[in-house]
Structure 1
Amino acid sequence: MPYVLLAVGAVSLLLALNAHRPGRRPAVLVPSFFAGWLTIELAPHLLVAEIAGLVLAAVYGGLEGSAGWAGWIGLVLGAAGVAGTVATIAAARRTTVTLRESGVPLDLDPEGAPRYPRSHLIVPPLCLLPRRGVRVTRNVVFREEGRLRLKLDVYSPAADGAAGGAGGAAAGGRLRPGLMQIHGGAWVIGDKREQGLPLLNHMAVQGWVGFNVNYRLSPRATWPEHLVDLKHFLRWYREHAEEYGADPDFLCVTGGSAGGHLTAMVALTANVPDFQPGFEDVDTSVQGAVPFYGVYDFVEPGPWPVPMGATRLVERMVVKRPFKEDREAFAKASPVHYLREDAPPFFVIHGSRDSLIPVAEARRFVERLRDASRSPVIYAEMKGSQHAFDVFPSYRTARVVEAVERYLTGLHREYTAGREPRAPEDIAGSLG
């Protein structure tokens, strides 16, 4: 048992160290990410497990016998690991401060809208289920050509009645704001059933209609087919939004990782003919964008050892062109290539300890976007947070979800008032 206690203590400390300093070398990048991701976002649950493991191992003889020294070492290591986990929890508790310092309106809606449910923080898998007051309509086909059938899930307020058809109209005939969610997965994996669920559920409770959208994945798909699919959704939305109680003239977009890249591309390439072949005359603009931990530049190395476009993943599986010979193709796949004065408002979110997409990637994108755009660009850097932090309904996720809802609600109120926000204060002011 002393060696069990030593093992528990050592694992506890290693998890804490990895959470605070994740490995970035290729050999350990992925396992380090997963360990850090689970440790950081499930820190309260891990803390309970660590303390229980240490106590049980000690009670059942972990400090006794000739090998008791190993147990004592394990106990010391475990105590250090527990302290690291507590520090991780403390960092997450500062999320509210971080968001407010970034200029994001976070206070609850003055009309008394509900906050994120505590039950989901205690039992994270509950986020997979529709929240009370939310209706989910699954597997709606939005693009069908030959054998290609792309589907989406609709998250809408249950009070609107049955989704689709006449029953999909919002109560009183009032159309609701729409939100497009784009999943991540390095452009090669992922599905609408896996990501964005905490946000979509919360937005539906607050009166929004969310659309969790699938798109073709590489290596079967070749860039820009991923983006073209999402443009097809925008075309579908213009024609069918009212059937689900949503306003066809108001749509915001969000997504994480590869979905963050695609979110920025959707927002910055409105009405670019190359990305909407055969429906060039359709308006593909959106009214706001919230990219989470995205990639924004495939050409310049910046925080990367080599340009992101020159990696095996992007060069051979996604774009499928030689980077050195056709840098222009990778530039055209980069959101920074499309920065413009009339870009919609952005709320960019990234974790300071993201080991898959360095936080410097977000910082330089925000700096360039602010220089180019006349719309407000808000940046929130989550201290101590890993990549994909919002997949779990943690304390940090709850606060970020609430902040995103307040931000998007502000954008919608500016829209309904016929105003175009020029500064973060305009959005916050519309909530008062």
Structure 2
Amino acid sequence: MTYALLALGILFALLAVNAHRPARHPLLLVPSFFAGWWSIELAPHLLVAEIAALVLVAWNGGLDGWAGWTGLLLGVAGTIGTVATIAASRRTTVTLRECGVPLDLDPRNAPRYPRSHLVVPFLCLIPRRGVRVDRNVLFHEDGRLRLKLDVYRPSAGSSEGGLRPGLMQIHGGAWVIGDKREQGLPLLNHMALQGWVGFNVNYRLSPRATWPDHLIDLKRFLAWYREHAEEYGADPDFLCVTGGSAGGHLTAMVALTANDPGFQPGFEDADTSVQGAVPFYGVYDFCEPGPWPVPFGSTRIMERMVVKLPFAENRDAYAKASPVAHVREDAPPFFVVHGSHDSLIPAAEARRFVERLRATSRAPVLYAEMKGGQHAFDVFPSYRSARVVEGVERHLTGLHRQYRQGTGPAVPGEIAESLDGTSKDDAAG
């Protein structure tokens, strides 16, 4: 048992180190991400398991030799690292307030995310009480192509003010995997309980699909939404968009290429504008290396599976696929969210996009960098993701209130002044 305790101690210490300093080496990138993803966002669960395992093995003879005592010391160090991870996640509310999210908007009518989901995270797979889900709604059909979505809406009838605001959710998965049943569920359930109608949308995936098929499919949903939103109690004139990772990239593209005929073949006249965008940990520039060793567009997945063109000879195509190339003055309000410890897409990618967007757009651009957050931190409920879900709801509710009042999108005066600059410190929220 002494060597079992040593093995546990080494494992717990490595998990703590990886949570705070994720590996960047290509061979370790994916395992480091998955280890960090679970150990950071489920840190309270991990802490309980670590303590229980150390006590159990030590009690059953694990301390009979030097290996066991060494393992115990390493294990204790690992648990201390896990406690530090939990402490970092507790700063989420402070980060959201500093970046400008109006967390005090209608505080009496803003219930917190349920604690039961934080204890048993996979409860998010089940629709919350008061939420109705219409699954596999067909929104586009062309021969054998059938694109579907799931609708999340309040079980009760229409809102007192009539039609409800709409929210489009775009799943991630590196443009090659993923499904509407897997991502965005904590946010969609919470938004539905706050009176929103959420649409979790599928789109064609690579390698079968070639860019910009992914974006065209999502714009087909926008055209469908204008015609069918009222059937689900949603306002066809008000829709915001969100998504993470590849979905974050697509969220930004949807918001910044409104009514661009080049991405709307056959339905060029459809209104594909949105009233707000909340991209999570997305890629925003395929051409400039920035935080990457090489331009993201030159990676194997982009050249061989997604865009399917050699990067060196087709930089214009990759530039056109980059949200940063479509930044414009009349962009809708943005709330960009990223984790500071994201090992797949470095936070510097989000910072430089926010800087460029703030320098050009007339609308508010908020940025929240989650201290200690990994990639995909919002897929299942944790303390951090629960607070971010609440913050996103408060932000979007504020945009909808301004829309109904007929005023332009804005942030509170004391926040607006801090958003005038575009320095890194400002961008870091």
Give, in angstroms, the shift of residue 108 of structure 1.
Answer: 6.0
Q: CA contact under 8 A between 1:378 and 1:424: conserved in structure 2? A: no
- Give the AA of the match of 1:43: A
Equivalent residue pairs, number: 416
Q: 1:173 to 1:367 in 2, by over 3 A?
A: closer
Question: Per the alignment, in what secondary structure is the counterpart of residue 235 of structure 2?
Answer: strand
Rounded Cα–Cα distance in structure 1 between residues aligned with 2:62 and 2:314: 62
Equivalent runs, 1:206-285 vs 2, <5 Å: 206-285=194-273
CA offsets per residue over residues 354-379 of structure 1, 9 Å max, x none? 00001100000000000010000000
Rounded Cα–Cα distance in structure 2 between residues aligned with 1:236 and 1:16: 47
Give, in angstroms, the shift of residue 115 of structure 1.
Answer: 1.3
2:120 to 100, 120, 123: 123
Given the alignment of the two structures, is residue 101 of structure 1 paired with residue 98 of structure 2, yes or no? yes
Q: CA contact under 8 A between 1:375 and 1:423: conserved in structure 2? A: no
Q: Which residue in the other structure is 1:57 paired with? A: 57
Give, in angstroms, the shift of residue 106 of structure 1.
Answer: 1.6
* Identity of matched residues, %: 80
Q: CA contact under 8 A between 2:92 and 2:370: conserved in structure 1? A: yes
Question: Per the alignment, in what secondary structure is the counterpart of residue 82 of structure 2?
Answer: helix
Q: Which residue in the other structure is 2:345 paired with? A: 357
Q: Which residue in the other structure is 2:135 paired with? A: 138
Give, in angstroms, the shift of residue 112 of structure 1.
Answer: 2.4
Give, in angstroms, the shift of residue 425 of structure 1.
Answer: 4.0
Question: Per the alignment, in what secondary structure is the counterpart of residue 189 of structure 1?
Answer: coil
Q: 1:138 to 1:311 in 2, by over 3 A?
A: same
Q: Which residue in the other structure is 1:36 paired with? A: 36
Q: Which residue in the other structure is 1:288 paired with? A: 276
Q: Which residue in the other structure is 1:381 paired with? A: 369
Rounded Cα–Cα distance in structure 2 between residues aligned with 1:42 and 1:171: 36
Equivalent runs, 1:352-431 vs 2, <5 Å: 352-425=340-413
Rounded Cα–Cα distance in structure 2 between residues aligned with 1:74 and 1:262: 46
Q: Which residue in the other structure is 1:176 paired with? A: 164
Deviating 4+ runs (over 3 angstroms): 422-428
Unaligned runs of 5+ in 2: 417-429
Unaligned runs of 5+ in 1: 161-169
- Give the AA of the match of 1:25: H
Give, in angstroms, the shift of residue 287 of structure 1.
Answer: 0.1
Question: Per the alignment, in what secondary structure is the counterpart of residue 289 of structure 1?
Answer: strand
Question: Per the alignment, in what secondary structure is the counterpart of residue 45 of structure 1?
Answer: helix
Q: 1:409 to 1:173 in 2, by over 3 A?
A: closer
1:152 to 143, 149, 152: 149
Give, in angstroms, the shift of residue 111 of structure 1.
Answer: 4.0
- Give the AA of the match of 2:126: L
Question: Per the alignment, in what secondary structure is the counterpart of residue 232 of structure 1?
Answer: helix
- Give the AA of the match of 1:286: V
Equivalent runs, 1:17-36 vs 2, <5 Å: 17-36=17-36
Q: 1:148 to 1:427 in 2, by over 3 A?
A: farther
Question: Per the alignment, in what secondary structure is the counterpart of residue 389 of structure 1?
Answer: coil
Question: Per the alignment, in what secondary structure is the counterpart of residue 239 of structure 2?
Answer: strand
Rounded Cα–Cα distance in structure 1 between residues aligned with 2:412 and 2:107: 19
- Give the AA of the match of 2:317: A
- Give the AA of the match of 2:385: T
- Give the AA of the match of 2:323: P
- Give the AA of the match of 2:315: R
Rounded Cα–Cα distance in structure 1 between residues aligned with 2:214 and 2:414: 34
Give, in angstroms, the shift of residue 172 of structure 1.
Answer: 5.1
Question: Per the alignment, in what secondary structure is the counterpart of residue 156 of structure 2?
Answer: helix
Q: 1:425 to 1:251 in 2, by over 3 A?
A: farther
CA offsets per residue over residues 337-392 of structure 1, 9 Å max, x none? 11100000000000000000011000000000000100000000000010000012
Rounded Cα–Cα distance in structure 1 between residues aligned with 2:218 and 2:415: 27
Q: Which residue in the other structure is 1:311 paired with? A: 299
Instruction: Please give the root-mean-square deviation of Cα atoms over the aligned residues, in Å.
Output: 1.2
2:80 to 80, 83, 87: 83
CA offsets per residue over residues 204-250 of structure 1, 9 Å max, x none? 00000000000000000000000000000000000000000000000
Q: Which residue in the other structure is 2:419 paired with? A: none
Equivalent runs, 1:1-12 vs 2, <5 Å: 1-12=1-12
Rounded Cα–Cα distance in structure 2 between residues aligned with 1:425 and 1:108: 14
Question: Per the alignment, in what secondary structure is the counterpart of residue 136 of structure 1?
Answer: strand
- Give the AA of the match of 2:17: L
- Give the AA of the match of 1:106: L
Rounded Cα–Cα distance in structure 2 between residues aligned with 1:294 and 1:73: 41
Question: Per the alignment, in what secondary structure is the counterpart of residue 310 of structure 2?
Answer: coil
Rounded Cα–Cα distance in structure 2 between residues aligned with 1:108 and 1:424: 11
Question: Per the alignment, in what secondary structure is the counterpart of residue 33 of structure 1?
Answer: helix
Rounded Cα–Cα distance in structure 2 between residues aligned with 1:403 and 1:236: 28
Give, in angstroms, the shift of residue 422 of structure 1.
Answer: 3.8
Rounded Cα–Cα distance in structure 2 between residues aligned with 1:107 and 1:319: 43
Equivalent runs, 1:321-332 vs 2, <5 Å: 321-332=309-320
CA offsets per residue over residues 162-191 of structure 1, 9 Å max, x none? xxxxxxxx1457100000000000000000
- Give the AA of the match of 1:122: V
Deviates more, 1:136-145 or 1:111-120: 111-120
2:173 to 162, 167, 185: 185
Give, in angstroms, the shift of residue 421 of structure 1.
Answer: 1.9
Given the alignment of the two structures, is residue 47 of structure 1 paired with residue 47 of structure 2, yes or no? yes
Give, in angstroms, the shift of residue 103 of structure 1.
Answer: 1.1
Rounded Cα–Cα distance in structure 1 between residues aligned with 2:121 and 2:239: 28
Q: Which residue in the other structure is 2:423 paired with? A: none
- Give the AA of the match of 2:232: Y
Q: CA contact under 8 A between 1:150 and 1:215: conserved in structure 2? A: yes
Give, in angstroms, the shift of residue 426 of structure 1.
Answer: 9.3
